[in-house]
Structure 1
Amino acid sequence: MQQNEPSEKPINLWRFVVPLLIQTGIILAVPAQSVYTLVTGKTAVLQTLPVDPYDLLRGYSVTLNYEISRTDNLKKLPGWADLVKQYPGKNQQYDPLAQGTSLYIILEEQKASGGIPQAWKPVQVSGQLPTSLAANQITLKGRYSGYNSITYGLETYYIPEDQRNDINKDISTARPIKPGQPQPIVVEVKVNAQGQAVPINMWVRDRKYYF
C-alpha cells in the first residue's frame, strides 16, 4: 500500500507582513507627527544658552541648549516643588528629579522689539498636561535626562551646506554685550496641543535661518 508523503505547510505570510507593517507605521508616524504639529501648532520662541561656537556647529548639524533646559532656571517657578516631591531624584541639589520624568513647561509670550522675536518666558511647571491656558501661553513637554538637564527634542538640527559658513560666522560673533544679558540667538518652534514641538527657524541677532 502506497503512502502519501506529508505535504509541506504553506508559509503564513502574515508572520512577515504584520511586523513589516508595524515597522513601516512607526517610521511614517514620526514625519506625520511633525507635519501635524507644523500645521496645527502654535508658534513660540525659545531663548538659547551661551555655548562655545566650536561645540555648537559640527559638520552638518547645529546643537543648542536653552534656558529652560537647566533646572536652575525652573526651580523657583510654581509647580516645581510639587514635581520634585512627586518624582524625587537621587540628590536634591545635583539631581533633583527621577531620570526620565516627563514635565510640562508653561511659556508666556513676550512683546517683540524691532521685528526680532522675543523669547517666551517660563511661568509654571507641571507634571501633567495643562488643560487650560491663556491665549498668550503654550505648554512645552520635556524630559528630565539627569544632572539638572531637561531635553525637549529640539537640541540638534541639520542645516544646509550652503548656510554653514554664514551660520558659523554669525554664531561666533553673537555674544551678549554685557554680563547677564541673554545670548542674541533664539529659536522659533511650533508646539501642538500635546506639548510636542518642531523647529521652524533660528534667529542669530537680526538674521533668520530656516531649518
Structure 2
Amino acid sequence: MNNTQSATNSHPNWRFLVPLACQALLILAIPARAVYTSVTGETVVLQTVPVDPYDFLRGYYQTLRYDISRQENLDKLPGWDELPIQRNGDYTYLEEGTRFYVIMEAPENSTATVNQPPPWKPVAVSLNHPDNLPENQIALEGEYRYGWIDYGLERYYMPEDRREEINADIRQVNLKPGEQRAFVVEVKVDRFGDSVPVSLWVESRNYRF
C-alpha cells in the first residue's frame, strides 16, 4: 500500500519536471548554436552602411546595418527573381518574413589593408540553402522585415566604458575630410547559414564583441 502511494505521489513531480526540462533545453540551445557557429564558422567581413556616432551607441545596445541589408543592393543579383515578390505600382519588394540566402564571395586579395580587412561581396541569392559552393563563397541566411533584410547581426552589446571608447574613435574618424565613413564587421558563418558577430573595425582599431 505504501509503495503504491509513493509511486502515485511521484507522478505530479514528473509532470512538473518534464516541461521544465524542455524549456531549459530550448534556452540552452540558443547559446549552444552560437558556440557551434563561432567554433566551426568561416570568418566573413561585412561592409556596414555609414555610421552616425551620435546614434550608434545609445543605451546598452548599438545597431548596425550593412550594404546587404538593403534590397536595392541585392535585387539585380542572380536568383532574385525566384524569391516571392510583391508589386506596388512600379515598386517591387519582398514578401514580409521571406527567408533566403545571400551568397557572399571572398575578395580576390583577402589580405588586410593598412586600415582594415576588405569586405566580402554578394554575388547571388537563393531561396534554398545552396550546396557545393566554391571554397571562396558561403551562404548567409537573412530575413526580410519592415523594409530591411536582417541577419541577426544588427544589435550588439558592449560595456559602457567600451562604448565611450568606440564613440570617440568614430567621431575622430568622421572629423577627417570626406564623407561620413563606413566600417566593417567580422562575423562567423557556419555551413547552415547561421551567423554570429565577432568584432567591429574602426579603421585600424578592432573591437571584439
Shared fold, TM over 0.5 = yes
1:1-211 alignment runs, 5 A limit: 10=9, 11-83=11-83, 87-89=84-86, 91=88, 96-110=93-107, 111=109, 112-114=112-114, 116-147=116-147, 149-175=148-174, 178=178, 183-211=181-209
TM-aligned CA deviation for residue 184 of structure 1? 3.8
Provide the TM-score with structure 1 as the length reference: 0.86
Q: Percent identity?
A: 51
TM-aligned CA deviation for residue 161 of structure 1? 2.4
Range with bigger deviation, 106-115 or 187-196: 106-115
TM-aligned CA deviation for residue 56 of structure 1? 1.1
Deviations 1:110-150 (A, max 9, x none): 12423621110000010000111111111100001032x10
Which amino acid letter does the alignment assign opposite residue 62 of structure 2? V
Deviations 1:140-171 (A, max 9, x none): 00001032x10000000101222121100122
Provide the TM-score with structure 2 as the length reference: 0.87
Count residues with an aligned counterpart. Answer: 199
Distance 2:89 2:194 in 1: 28
| Cα 1:20/1:133, change in 2 over 3 Å | same
TM-aligned CA deviation for residue 89 of structure 1? 2.7
Which amino acid letter does the alignment assign opposite residue 131 of structure 2? T
- Where do 5+ consecutive residues of structure 2 fail to align? none
| Cα 1:93/1:114, change in 2 over 3 Å | farther
| Structure 1 counterpart SS, 2:55 | helix
Conserved in 1, the CA contact under 8 Å of 2:51 and 2:183?
no
- Where do 5+ consecutive residues of structure 1 fail to align? 1-6
Distance 1:44 1:13 in 2: 48
Deviations 1:49-102 (A, max 9, x none): 11422221112222100000000100111111121xxx1235376561111110
Question: 1:3 — aligned with what?
Answer: none
Between structures 1 and 2, the one with greater helix share: 2
Q: What is the RMSD computed on CA atoms of the aligned residues? A: 2.2
